Structure 1
Amino acid sequence: MWDSSAFLGALTPKFYVALTGTSSLISGLILIFEWWYFRKYGTSFIEQVSLTHLGPWLGGGGGGETDAADCKVWRNPLSLLRGAEYGRLWSAARRAPLTYYDMNLSAQEHQAWFGCGAECDICNNPFTSGGGVQCTSCTKNLDFACANITEAGWKKLGAERRSAWKCSSCRAPSPGPSSAKDQVTLDSIMKEVRDVKLQLAGLPTIIEEVKAMRSELKELKSSCQMASDKVDEFNLKIITIEKKVEDLEKKNAALDSNLVDIKIQLQNIDQRSRQNNVEIKGVPQKKEENLYNIVEKLSNTVGYTFPKNNINYISRVPSYNSQEKSIIVSFLNRYVKEDFIAAARVFKVLKAEDLGFQDSSQRIYVNDHL
């Protein structure tokens, strides 16, 4: 059995190039010759050869068996009258042909109504006045008996179904292995090969595009992986920062608590430090004044004297909402402070002039330093 795959595998690209070039050259020469012949004689050379030599083999006219004047339609087994045959029939019969194209008839109706002594291709009997039928597949002319159909049944089929009618031989399924359609020919193989080559012509470009896409996808994957690593790194840093912030918040809360305690302690210490302090308001301020002498004059005025070593310190401090500065006396002994304040309160009206400030009559107040 002939192995087509082995045959095609043995063919080289040079064979295909030579085959294509040769066929193109022959087709070009035939085309040029046909053009020249048609310009010179007004008809086709191939058509004339077909009518002269192939017509008799196919059972058609052109051999002189049927006179043109005896037939209503010029018989042409290859194709009904078209083109150059129109002029050929006019030259032979001196009348225009009538075809089923002109009357919009089917091939079967044309054969039945305008046949020139047609006969059945199976039994070779001439058609009756009723005519016959023609298979649209094998184009055989059959009478109604060989076609297994009556004339009335044929007419009832309608134009559409009659135009698609097939004989029993064409309707029967052909055997698979010996089917003509399944036979492998060199032309069909070459056609399939050319189709495959045309389909694969853009394959290198597609491969390059796929490679480029793979490269781009690889780079994109690498970029995505880097971005994912960066995101993971940022997440770890954020978690670390959040933990540090949480620790700092705890420390800040502890510091706030400690600060409150320290403020309370400072307030307590300040209050305790002021327990031995006396605030004296209303004493005029002079340059190079001696605060010890002023306190001593005050103690003598109120009638309560005490030694200087009972005083820890004396200083002036600003007063709230006043430009004058008060005198703060810090005693070492709390009881001395209390007795001093009590003696000053017994002396109800105490003025600056009592302390030797003749130019001032403002009152002097002695109180606890709160």
Structure 2
Amino acid sequence: MNSNCKKCNEKVQDGAQCSRCKLVYHYYCVALSEVGWRRLGSERKASWLCPNCKSNAQLNSPRNTTQCKPIEETKAESTSLENIEAMLASLSGLPVLVEKLRNEVSELNARFSSQVIEELNTRLDDIEAKLSSVESLKIEQNKLITKLNTHEDRFIKLDKDLKQQIEETTDLHKKMKLLEREYNRSQQFPER
């Protein structure tokens, strides 16, 4: 029974079909329960009318207000009424049961919520600890960068000083060689 419900126009997998117009309805769209529909005999299902067809049938049928009901029909109605009263009596404890279920659901929600909150708090604590660790590492990194920059500056200064020393040493070396040559020359030609 894969067709659309005449009332809500949505797909019907399982529903009630009118015996006159053959249209299909969801049970809840025509104020039927699925259980109630299943309890109807095959004859009653075969003669079931949708609200539109039922109202049309009532308008077209002649009314006899003086008609008396047969005794069997009255007995069946009173038996049916007794059955309904018995069913209602069996449902008298339903409000207490519903309240119990509500309380249990509330308790479960509270328990679940507290577990979730506890787990979230634990995770947040872990994240905060990791962030603190990262911040400490960042501080250490900055200190190392500062030290490295200081050492680099010192290295540049030392390198500059070394180059200057090398230049001075080279100059001194040249002067010494020059002086040596002059001395050697002067030794070769003594003064007379």
Query: TM-score, length-normalised on structure 1?
Result: 0.29
Give 2:190's aligned residue.
Answer: 334
Query: What is the rounded CA distance, in whole Å, between the counterparts of 1:236 and 1:255 in structure 2?
Result: 28
Q: Does 1:243 align with 2:153?
A: yes
CA deviations on 1:232-277 (whole Å, 9 max, x unpaired) are 1101101101110111121112112112211111111111121134
**2:40 pairs with one of 50, 75, 80:** 80
Q: Secondary structure at the match of 1:334?
A: coil
Give 2:169's aligned residue.
Answer: 259
Deviation at 1:226, TM superposition (A): 1.1
Name the CA shift for 1:143/1:210 in 2 (closer, same or farther; >3 Å).
closer
Give 1:227's aligned residue.
Answer: 137
Query: TM-score, length-normalised on structure 2?
Result: 0.51
Deviation at 1:78, TM superposition (A): 8.0
Normalized per residue, which structure has more helix? 2
Q: Which amino acid aligns with 2:130?
A: L
Deviation at 1:145, TM superposition (A): 4.6
Q: Does 1:111 align with 2:111?
A: no
Task: Choose 1 or 2 for highest CA Rg.
Answer: 1
Query: What is the rounded CA distance, in whole Å, between the counterparts of 2:160 and 2:112 in structure 1?
Result: 70
**Match runs of 1:118-267 below 5 Å:** 133-135=49-51, 142-146=54-58, 190-267=100-177
Deviation at 1:147, TM superposition (A): 7.1
Deviation at 1:225, TM superposition (A): 1.7
Query: What is the rounded CA distance, in whole Å, between the counterparts of 2:55 and 2:173 in structure 1?
Result: 131
Query: What is the rounded CA distance, in whole Å, between the counterparts of 1:77 and 1:254 in structure 2?
Result: 109
Query: What is the rounded CA distance, in whole Å, between the counterparts of 2:182 and 2:100 in structure 1?
Result: 119
Query: What is the rounded CA distance, in whole Å, between the counterparts of 1:253 and 1:146 in structure 2?
Result: 119
Query: What is the rounded CA distance, in whole Å, between the counterparts of 2:178 and 2:37 in structure 1?
Result: 135
Q: Which amino acid aligns with 1:334?
A: P
Name the CA shift for 1:335/1:244 in 2 (closer, same or farther; >3 Å).
same
Query: What is the rounded CA distance, in whole Å, between the counterparts of 1:218 and 1:77 in structure 2?
Result: 61
Give 1:288's aligned residue.
Answer: none
Query: What is the rounded CA distance, in whole Å, between the counterparts of 1:201 and 1:247 in structure 2?
Result: 69
Give 2:181's aligned residue.
Answer: 271
Name the CA shift for 1:275/1:198 in 2 (closer, same or farther; >3 Å).
same
Name the CA shift for 1:147/1:214 in 2 (closer, same or farther; >3 Å).
farther
Alignment RMSD, CA only?
3.4
Query: What is the rounded CA distance, in whole Å, between the counterparts of 2:173 and 2:55 in structure 1?
Result: 131
**Match runs of 1:44-55 below 5 Å:** none
Q: Which amino acid aligns with 1:144?
A: N
CA deviations on 1:96-127 (whole Å, 9 max, x unpaired) are xxx26xxxxx93xx116xxxxxxxxxxxxxxx
Deviation at 1:187, TM superposition (A): 5.7
Deviation at 1:217, TM superposition (A): 1.8
Q: Which amino acid aligns with 2:138?
A: S
Query: What is the rounded CA distance, in whole Å, between the counterparts of 1:77 and 1:272 in structure 2?
Result: 134
Give 2:24's aligned residue.
Answer: none
Give 2:65's aligned residue.
Answer: none
Q: Secondary structure at the match of 2:47?
A: helix
Query: What is the rounded CA distance, in whole Å, between the counterparts of 2:126 and 2:114 in structure 1?
Result: 18
Query: What is the rounded CA distance, in whole Å, between the counterparts of 1:77 and 1:227 in structure 2?
Result: 72
Query: What is the rounded CA distance, in whole Å, between the counterparts of 1:147 and 1:266 in structure 2?
Result: 139
Aligned pair count reads 123
Q: Which runs of 5+ in 2 are unaligned?
A: 1-35, 61-94
Query: What is the rounded CA distance, in whole Å, between the counterparts of 2:166 and 2:100 in structure 1?
Result: 95
